[in-house]
A = this chain, B = another copy of it.
Amino acid sequence: MANDSSYKDKKVITIGIVRDLTGLSERQIRYYEERKLIFPERSSGGSRKYSFADVELLVEIANKIEDGVQTHEIRKEMLRAQKKQNQNDVTRKMIQGQLNAQFGLRKGPSS
């Protein structure tokens, strides 16, 4: 396994707690979602659920906005970073595939 799916990325924090954790207003938090900067999940009843990673991202977003960066710019930055990450993933997988093809490899734990 790569990284434990662990706690950081589980969406379990409601907006009120995110407010307390970040110091942002609920209005701000919802607005950043509207601008496609953050993507909470929803409970069955419709309440937003955030992860710790989301909480940290929200703080970064708020800092940039304080610095005068517009949400649209922030979004473009994020998309670029995302794209770069995806490309890295693809590259890594491709190289791994080549290695497997050349040398063969165990799939499960060596039994």
Number of identical monomers bound together in the oligomeric complex: 2
Q: Write out the residue numbers on chain B whose beta carbons fall within 8 Å of the beta carbon of A49.
A: 17
**A7-B7, A7-B52, A52-B7 given as contacts; is B17 within 8 A of A21 (CB)?**
no
Contact digits for A65-77, partner B, Cβ 8 Å, 1 yes 0 no: 0000000000000
How far apart sit A21 and B13, CA to CA, in the bound complex (Å)? Answer: 12
| Chain A residues close to B by CB (< 8 Å) | 6-8, 10, 12-14, 16-17, 20-21, 43, 49, 52
Question: Which residue among A12, A16, A21, A43 has the maximum number of chain B CB atoms within 10 Å of its CB?
Answer: A12
Q: Write out the residue numbers on chain B whose beta carbons fall within 8 Å of the beta carbon of A8.
A: 7
**A7-B7, A7-B52, A52-B7 given as contacts; is B16 within 8 A of A13 (CB)?**
no
How far apart sit A14 and B10, CA to CA, in the bound complex (Å)? Answer: 14
